[in-house]
Structure formats: C-alpha cells, structure tokens
Amino acid sequence: MIRALFETVGLFLAPFALFALYLALRLKFPLAVEHWTRGRLSWLALTGLAAATLGLAFLTALAPRGHGRYVPAHIENGIIAPGRFE
C-alpha cells in the first residue's frame, strides 16, 4: 500500500520536476517565482493529476490476483495457519 502511495505521489510530482529540469537546462534559475505562474502551475497540476490517476488505474489493472479458492486463517494442531489461496 505504501508503495502505491509513493508511486502515485511520484507520478503527480513528475511534471513539476521535469519543468524545473527544463528551466535548469535553459540556464534559468528554476526556483525564481516568475517562472512558476498560476497558469503554468495549473497545467502542471492537471498533468500530474492525470498521470497519477492513469498510473493508479494501471497498477490496479495489473495487480496480481489470487487464483483458486480462499481458505481463511484457522487453527491446525494448536497453531494458527494463515489464510491462503488453494
């Protein structure tokens, strides 16, 4: 679950990092306020939101699914056997 959260946050922040890299490659100071206008921030946020949404949908679609019948956790010979798929 933590991995999915970090991947989603990373996908959201990727457009901002790419724009900062673009500014650095153009030899402009990426932390200057004049480069981060409201319009650019809006587009970057929308792009990041779209990337995060698509990435989360992609992760959900490709997540491994259990096959077979689920056997819930139970006690065998006084020892707890964890739940599993058979």
- Residue 12 neighbours by CB under 8 Å, 6+ apart: 48, 49, 51, 52
Copy the structure tokens of residue 47. Answer: 């792009």
Q: Report the predicted TM-score, pTM, of the whole model to 2 decimal places.
A: 0.68
What whole-number percentage of the chain has pLDDT above 90? 59
Dist. CA 8–CA 58, nearest whole Å: 11
- pLDDT tens profile 52-80: 999 989 888 887 776 778 889 999 999 99
33 Cβ contact list (under 8 Å, min separation 6):
none
What are the phi and psi torsion angles at 27 (to 5°)?
Answer: 60, 35
